[in-house]
Amino acid sequence: MKLLTGNDLVTGDVTWWTGNGWSRHVEDAADVGDLGEAIAKAEEGARRVNVPYVIDAVATPEGPRPAHIKDRIRALGPTVRPDLTLKPADPDAGSWVI
């Protein structure tokens, strides 16, 4: 599957295209198929996202899992600061990255 991701223009937060908007949580990300570039262009033009790009991901029962470790770290947060990730209460969250 293909996901569209970028950073929020104002906050810099990592965001994921959900099909009708943006979410900070990769679990909400939608498969954009071949439409990623077109959505990216429209959304960037509307200043709802900054520097969007399309990535490969794998569908899993827990939700989409980006294919590359860099995007998995983007999705979670720094593995060395679990308290600053999106799953601060899950001490094992970092294992999802590796």
Partner 1 sequence: MYQYDQYDQSMVDARVEEFRDQVKRRLAGQMTEDRFKPLRLMNGLYLQLHAYMLRVAVPYGTLSSRQMRMLGHVARKYDRGYGHFTTRQNLQFNWIKLEDAPDILAELATVEMHAIQTSGNCIRNISSDQFAGAAADEVTDPRPWAELLRQWSTFHPEFTYLPRKFKIAVIAAAEDRAAMRLHDIGIELLKKDGVLGAKIFVGGGMGRTPMISHEIRDFVTADELLSYLEACLRVYNRYGRRDNIYKARIKILLHELGPDEYRRQVEEEFAQVKTLGIDPPVAELERISAFFAPPAFESGLSEDLDRSDPDFAVWLDQNVKPHKQAGYAIVNISLKPVGGIPGDASADQIDVMADLGERYSFDELRVTHAQNIVLPHVRKADLYAVWQALTEAGLAEANLDLISDIIACPGLDYCSLANARSIPLAQKIAERFRDLDRQRDLGELKLKISGCINACGHHHAGHIGILGVDKKGKENYQLSLGGSGAEDVSLAKITGPGFDEDGVVDAIERVTDRFVQVREPGERFLDTYRRVGFETFKEAIYG
Residues of the shown chain interacting with partner 1 in the complex, contacts defined by CB under 8 A: 7, 9-14, 44, 47, 50-51, 67-70, 73-74, 77-81, 84
CB of residue 15 to partner 1, shortest distance in Å = 11
Considering beta carbons, is residue 19 or 78 the nearer one to partner 1? 78
**Residue 12 to residue 45: CA distance in whole angstroms:** 16
Closest among 36, 37, 19 to 28, alpha carbons compared: 19
For partner 1, the closer CB: 47 or 63: 47
CB of 44 to partner 1, least distance (A): 8
Task: Give the nearer residue to partner 1 in terms of CB position, either 38 or 70.
Answer: 70
SS3 16: strand
Alpha helices of the chain — where are they, by DSSP H?
36-45, 69-76
**Residue by residue, what is the 3-state secondary structure of 66-77?**
ECCHHHHHHHHC
Report in angstroms how near the CB of residue 10 gets to partner 1 at its nearest.
5
